[in-house]
Amino acid sequence: MKRWLSVTALSAVLFSSVIGCSGNNDGGGDKGGSGGDGGGGGKPVELTFWGDWGGEGQKQFETMVDAFNKSQDRIRVKYVLQQDMITKFLTAATSGGSPDILFWDRWRTSLYAPKNVLHPIDEYLEKDGLSKDAFYGESIKELSYNDKLYGLPLTVDARALFYNKKILDEAGVKPPTTWAELEEAAVKTTKWNGSKLEVAGFSLGDNGLFNMYLQQAGGSMLSEDGLKTGFNSEQGRSVLQFWDKLLNEDKVYKVGFEQGLGEGTDAFVTGKLAMQYTGPWMLSTYKKYGKDLDFGIVPPPAGPNGDKGSVMGGFGLVIPEGAKHKEEAWEFVKWWTANKDNALLWAKTSLNMPGLKEALEDPFFKDDPFWQPFMETLEFAKIRPAHPGYSVMENDGLIPNLQLFQQGEQGLEDTLNKSQTQGDKLLADNADVK
């Protein structure tokens, strides 16, 4: 198991190598010594980079900003932490106070690109000979709207199955690869003491993962034309039947189990949970426990017909339409996201998976068994649908009905029918971005 270097120590080790190659032809910034600001004034162009990551996240961003600033002398970037960033950004977009670069949750693109507050980068990509194929296609799709690209992927992530090796070994089961194997492993690892659940075989605590299960069942969240919901289907029934069997027949989980352990108690860390879906953001946390938590990871088990599924998420860097220095902002975005060495510096500093495929070929990822399952999962993971009303539909139309179903307060058919009716209305009501 690798030990993770601190941000400061790692930066010191990597700065020299990253800065040395930052002026190459594969997306690096210009080499130092060029002087000037591109306008003959002699002073560097000053850029403002907005993000909403504070604490360790802020230090990680500042590591990248410092590395870029040291790599050349034409541009100086400053990271500015913003609370309630999107609201402030929309205000700034109309008042002339827009930042030059924005840290961007990619799913927002379909909501805000129609408002003309983001600047398309296709011309920059073509000018510098960069290919969209260097990044995961789904992440590029999530940063696009109406055939225009509005940023480059900074991170990619997807859910995979974490399992407690000790618990599975004691139960005599292997990490599951199918729904049937998942059910068997969950049943054999669950422990009840009378009416008290002591060890849950598998967590069903996040019904927001319905989309992932639906992919595994061979279904899709929206209709083929992308205008209506698509989950009131045989595939949707298959998902809810699977959940119902796990909850009420196999009894491998109890709704609210994790919350019932008390605030600050992690069920997986404390050996109260054998298996769960989560993402690479939990790796550093779980690795801290060393021998006290011997865990493994596998890609999400396939559904009854062999379909695979997971939801890709992640962030990007975008350039606001109101940015005063778009060309220089692009140099920073390109330097960070499209250069292997810089993308690796980011990955090793933040322990995030970079959006650049080439960076994931590095031994840091390829030789680490904890990263491998996520890399396999990213090959089939899909982004959330790009309909502007999708998040509202999912949060307000679908998930409340799924909660009622899991709590035994609503039947399967009612759940799917009501979710469809409410979801279709929310999609229609939010189809046009205002």
The arithmetic mean of pLDDT across residues 115-123, rounded, is: 97
Q: Is the pLDDT of residue 38 over 90?
A: no
Q: Is the pLDDT of residue 133 over 50?
A: yes
Q: Is the pLDDT of residue 32 over 90?
A: no
The answer to whether residues 119 and 151 touch, using CB atoms and an 8 Å cutoff, is no
Which tokens go with 44? 């560097």
In single-letter form, the type of residue at position 345 comes to: L
Q: Is the pLDDT of residue 9 over 70?
A: no
Confidence of residue 41 (pLDDT cuts 50, 70, 90): low
pLDDT tens digit sequence for 281-327: 999 889 888 778 999 999 999 999 999 999 999 999 999 999 999 99
pLDDT of amino acid 162: 98
Confidence of residue 264 (pLDDT cuts 50, 70, 90): confident
Q: Which residues pair with 101 in a beta bridge?
A: 49
Instruction: State what percent of residues in the chain have pLDDT above 70.
Output: 91
Cα–Cα distance list, 116 to 329, 389, 406 (Å): 18, 18, 41
**HSE, side-chain direction, 13 A CA sphere, residue 48:** 13
Distance, in Å, from the CA atom of 166 to the CA atom of 110, rounded to the nearest integer, reads 44
DSSP 3-state assignment of 358?
helix
The answer to whether residues 170 and 176 touch, using CB atoms and an 8 Å cutoff, is no
Q: What CATH fold (topology level) applies to the domain 7-157+313-378?
A: D-Maltodextrin-Binding Protein; domain 2 (3.40.190)
The arithmetic mean of pLDDT across residues 55-70, rounded, is: 97
Confidence of residue 404 (pLDDT cuts 50, 70, 90): very high
Distance, in Å, from the CA atom of 211 to the CA atom of 77, rounded to the nearest integer, reads 38
Cα–Cα distance list, 298 to 132, 187, 285 (Å): 28, 18, 18
Domain extents in the chain: 7-157+313-378, 160-205+253-309, 206-233+387-434
Q: Is the pLDDT of residue 82 over 80?
A: yes
pLDDT of amino acid 29: 40
pLDDT of amino acid 39: 44
Confidence of residue 95 (pLDDT cuts 50, 70, 90): confident
* Neighbouring C-beta atoms of residue 196, cutoff 10 Å: 9
DSSP 3-state assignment of 323?
coil
The arithmetic mean of pLDDT across residues 40-69, rounded, is: 94
Tell me, yes or no, if the two domains 7-157+313-378 and 160-205+253-309 fold the same way. Answer: yes
The answer to whether residues 157 and 374 touch, using CB atoms and an 8 Å cutoff, is yes
Distance, in Å, from the CA atom of 348 to the CA atom of 21, rounded to the nearest integer, reads 17
Cα–Cα distance list, 208 to 79, 165, 214, 428 (Å): 32, 26, 11, 21
pLDDT of amino acid 291: 75
pLDDT tens digit sequence for 163-220: 999 999 999 999 999 999 999 999 999 999 999 999 999 999 999 999 999 999 999 9
DSSP 3-state assignment of 348?
helix
Nearest to 329 by CA among 85, 53, 103: 103
Q: Is the pLDDT of residue 96 over 90?
A: no
Contacts of 316 (CB under 8 A, 6+ apart): 104, 106, 139, 142, 143, 151, 152, 153, 154, 337, 355
Helices 412-429 and 399-406: crossing angle, nearest 10°? 170
Nearest to 71 by CA among 111, 27, 7: 27
The arithmetic mean of pLDDT across residues 44-49, rounded, is: 98
pLDDT tens digit sequence for 334-358: 999 999 999 999 999 999 999 999 9
DSSP 8-state code for residue 350: H
**HSE, side-chain direction, 13 A CA sphere, residue 15:** 17
The number of residues in the chain equals 434
245-260: b or e for each residue (b if 16 or more CB lie within 10 Å)? Answer: ebbeebbbbbeebbee
Q: Is the pLDDT of residue 21 over 70?
A: no
pTM of the model: 0.87
pLDDT tens digit sequence for 226-244: 999 999 999 999 999 999 9
Instruction: State what percent of residues in the chain have pLDDT above 90.
Output: 85
Helix ranges restricted to H, 134-209: 137-142, 165-171, 179-189
Q: From 3.40.50.300, 3.40.190.10, 3.20.20.10, 3.90.1300.10, which CATH number describes the 160-205+253-309 domain?
A: 3.40.190.10
Phi–psi pair at 278, nearest 5 degrees: -155, -175
What rounded mean pLDDT belongs to the chain? 91
Chain Cα centroid distance, residue 390: 17
Q: Is the pLDDT of residue 27 over 60?
A: no
Distance, in Å, from the CA atom of 139 to the CA atom of 135, rounded to the nearest integer, reads 7
Distance, in Å, from the CA atom of 20 to the CA atom of 13, rounded to the nearest integer, reads 13
DSSP 8-state code for residue 254: -
DSSP 3-state assignment of 268?
coil
pLDDT of amino acid 51: 98
Helices 399-406 and 234-244: crossing angle, nearest 10°? 40
Q: Is the pLDDT of residue 6 over 60?
A: no
Which tokens go with 361? 């070929």
pLDDT of amino acid 433: 80
